[in-house]
């Protein structure tokens, strides 16, 4: 492979091997069933005899943290695939933190001056040379604008792109080798995970994308009394720099401080669940990195506590079909309507229609009933989805990547909610919201709204109908060789042609009528009539054909 022929990458590969050996990662690899017979190789590792003993999950996590930013991000992406990982390793990967030593403030100042083409003192009234947060891709400094507003400045690490490209290349090679030679390699789909990692981390290297995510989420919750998103100052932001409003709040993980401030922890936990489902079902746009380090709580109104979110590099989106799948599945699960769960999977197209509904229903019941033997307040939404994915995989279901982000976020919200208020009943909190959303999607007003928005698209398609009919008639006329020597035989053909053209005429009239009604009678009820008329027109054309 080419990467092993480049001196710098060969040096990096050597460094990686030393870190792997020092953390006794070989014992984790050789503990797999496929390689257990070769476990004696670990005895030749000097650190086997003198190194610190850890669980395999801890070994996995600590090794990735020492390997650097790309490997940390790789572990974070891999942690979303709980359906494929052992539970102990998945739990440890959830703890991955990409906090690293900061780079000097002088270098941060130089980067700012290169971007702004002027001294920092001309841009900011004050700039704090000492960063108050440092991660693998960027670090954060405090500053004050000339108008007196306090802000935070997120600055990409120098040369980080070269480091990332180098390590992703190595990861891709390792993933290919693993998939080729290890029995479990293809099952883990490591090559797909590396490709997903590459897309995600390259996206994070453009801080304007993160700013755009923050702005969208801020608009979605502009009038909310439950979530606040800081403002982005676009005039100071570039691809390598993001300037945002500085917020003040209590870290959500600091329970003693929250209690001291008089925060209603039960209400805070319930608000977190509602915010999550609002993002997922109302907006189809959710913060997918909701670990405690990215969440703060405002002290302004303890009785109705408000969350403050930061760090918008990872966001999830859902299509209308995804939303319906999630909402209706959760409702069907908690009603123990496993038949409906199976039908939803087949209707969505994620399980082949050749799958027998009763067999799929039986499989889902088998993994779900043991969960429901516990009290509802102890049931994990995230683990319920995980069990569902595991059952569906046996029926060759291709899980969409956005569902793993959703599951990861759901687990984070659950963990946070129960940390704040251990007696939190997520089902009681979420059920009314889910049922309200499903009812709204099936309401006549929602249906008419969809028709109103889709009407112009349907008209465009209907306007193409005469051309399609005419082209088809010409094709038929070309294919059919009429025998002019037998007039009697030609009479039925001529009648058929007249009927086709009559249908074509009806089609033109109907389309003209639809166009008139849509553009001259802007009434919602008329739109529904248009659909009926359009269907009649199409049927006339088809019948006369």
| pLDDT more than 90, % of the chain | 26
Q: How far is CA 69 from CA 96, 171, 189, in A?
A: 11, 12, 21
Confidence of residue 32 (pLDDT cuts 50, 70, 90): low
Interatomic CA distance for residues 367 and 376, integer angstroms: 16
The per-residue pLDDT of the chain, averaged, comes to: 77
What pLDDT score was predicted for residue 492?
A: 52
Whole-angstrom Cα distance, residue 209 to residue 124? Answer: 23
Q: Which run of H or of E encompasses 160? A: helix 160-181
Q: Which of the given ranges, 57-66, 134-143, 333-342, has the highest pLDDT on average?
A: 134-143
Tell me whether residue 418 is exposed, middle or buried, using C-beta atoms within 10 angstroms of its C-beta: 0 to 12, 13 to 18, 19 or more: middle
Distance (Å, rounded) from C-alpha 341 to C-alpha 364?
A: 8
Type and span of the H or E element at 12: helix 7-22
3-class DSSP state of 390: helix
Q: Is 465 helix (H, G, I), strand (E, B) or coil?
A: helix
Higher pLDDT, 469 or 491: 469
Report whether 112 contacts 153 (CB < 8 A). yes
Active site residue 289: yes
Q: Coil, strand, or helix at residue 284?
A: coil
In this predicted model, what pLDDT tens digit does every residue of 336-390 receive, in sequence order? Answer: 888 988 888 777 776 767 778 888 888 888 888 877 767 666 777 767 777 777 7
Say what the pLDDT of residue 434 is: 80
Chain centroid offset of residue 358 CA = 31
**What pLDDT does residue 330 have?**
80
pLDDT at 146 over 90: yes
Segments making up each domain of the chain, as ranges: 2-99+161-203, 316-442, 445-544
Q: Which position among 26, 167, 289, 311 bears the catalytic label?
A: 289
Find all residues with CB under 8 Å of 350, minimum gap 6, and list them: 325, 392, 397, 398, 399, 400
Whole-angstrom distance, CA of residue 73 vs CA of residue 330: 30
Picking from 67-71, 144-148, 160-164, 445-449, which range would have the lowest pLDDT averaged per residue? 445-449
Does the pLDDT of residue 260 top 80, yes or no? yes
Query: What pLDDT score does 99 carry?
Result: 67
pLDDT band at residue 3 under the 50/70/90 scheme: very low
Pairwise CA distance, residues 81 & 407, whole Å? 9
For residue range 105-124, what is the model confidence (pLDDT) as tens digits? 999 999 999 999 999 999 99
Q: How many residues does the chain have?
A: 545
CB 226 within 8 A of CB 274: yes
Confidence (pLDDT) at 168: 83
**Is 283 or 432 the better-scoring residue by pLDDT?**
283
3-state SS, 318-339, equals CCHHHHHHHHHHHHHHHCCCHH
Give the model confidence (pLDDT) of 470-486 as tens digits: 666 667 666 655 544 44
| Arithmetic mean of pLDDT, 493-506 | 53
User: Are the C-beta atoms of residues 417 and 424 closer than 8 Å to each other?
Assistant: yes
The answer to whether 21 and 45 are in contact (CB under 8 A) is yes
For the residues of 20-79, what is the DSSP string, one character each? HHHTTHHHHHTTSGGGGGGGGGGGG-HHHHHSPP--HHHHHHHHHHHH-HHHHHHHHHHT
Q: Which tokens sit at 101?
A: 């030593």
- Which pLDDT does position 371 carry in this prediction? 74
Instruction: Provide the pairing of β-strand 150-156 with 138-145.
Output: antiparallel
């Amino acid at each position: 492979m080419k990467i092993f022929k480049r001196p710098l990458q060969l040096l990096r590969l050597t460094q990686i091997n030393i870190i792997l050996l020092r953390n006794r990662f070989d014992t984790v690899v050789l503990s797999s069933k496929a390689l257990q017979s070769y476990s004696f190789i670990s005895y030749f590792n000097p650190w086997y005899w003198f190194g610190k003993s850890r669980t395999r999950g801890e070994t996995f996590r600590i090794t990735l943290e020492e390997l650097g930013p790309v490997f940390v991000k790789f572990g974070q992406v891999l942690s979303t695939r709980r359906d494929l990982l052992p539970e102990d390793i998945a739990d440890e990967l959830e703890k991955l933190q990409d906090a690293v030593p900061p780079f000097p403030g002088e270098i941060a100042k130089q980067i700012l001056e290169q971007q702004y083409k002027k001294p920092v003192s001309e841009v900011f009234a004050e700039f704090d040379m000492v960063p108050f947060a440092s991660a693998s891709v960027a670090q954060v400094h405090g500053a004050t604008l000339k108008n007196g507003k306090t802000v935070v400045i997120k600055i990409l690490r120098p040369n980080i792109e070269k480091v990332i490209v180098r390590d992703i290349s190595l990861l891709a090679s390792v993933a290919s080798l693993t998939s080729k030679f290890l029995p479990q390699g293809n099952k883990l789909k490591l090559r797909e995970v590396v490709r997903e990692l590459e897309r995600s981390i390259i996206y994070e290297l453009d801080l304007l994308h993160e700013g755009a995510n923050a702005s969208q989420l801020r608009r979605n919750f502009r009038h909310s009394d439950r979530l606040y998103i800081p403002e982005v100052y676009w005039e100071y932001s570039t691809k390598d720099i993001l300037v945002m409003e500085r917020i003040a709040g209590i870290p959500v993980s600091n329970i003693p401080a929250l209690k001291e401030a008089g925060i209603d922890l039960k209400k805070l936990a319930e608000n977190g669940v509602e915010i999550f489902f609002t993002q997922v079902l109302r907006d189809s746009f959710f913060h997918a990195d909701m670990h405690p380090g990215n969440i703060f709580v405002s002290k302004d109104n303890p009785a109705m506590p408000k969350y403050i979110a930061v760090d918008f590099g990872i966001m999830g989106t859902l299509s209308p079909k995804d939303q319906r799948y999630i909402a209706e599945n959760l409702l069907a699960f908690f009603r123990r309507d496993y038949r409906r769960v199976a039908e939803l999977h087949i209707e969505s197209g994620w399980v082949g229609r050749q799958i027998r509904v009763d067999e799929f229903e039986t499989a889902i019941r088998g993994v779900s009933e043991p969960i429901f033997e516990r009290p509802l307040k102890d049931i994990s939404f995230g683990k319920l989805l995980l069990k569902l994915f595991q059952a569906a995989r046996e029926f060759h279901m291709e899980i969409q990547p956005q569902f793993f982000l959703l599951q990861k976020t759901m687990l984070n919200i659950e963990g946070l909610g129960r940390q704040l208020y251990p007696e939190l009943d997520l089902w009681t909190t979420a059920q009314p919201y889910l049922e309200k959303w499903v009812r709204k999607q099936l309401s006549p007003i929602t249906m008419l709204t969809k028709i109103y928005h889709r009407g112009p698209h349907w008209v465009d398609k209907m306007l193409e109908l005469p051309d399609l009919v005419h082209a088809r008639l010409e094709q038929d006329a070309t294919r059919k060789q009429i025998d002019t020597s037998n007039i009697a035989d030609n009479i039925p053909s001529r009648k058929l042609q007249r009927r086709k053209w009559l249908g074509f005429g009806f089609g033109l009239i109907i389309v003209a009528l639809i166009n008139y009604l849509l553009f001259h009678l802007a009434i919602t009820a008329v739109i529904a009539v248009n659909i009926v008329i359009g269907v009649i027109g199409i049927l006339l054309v088809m019948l006369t054909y």
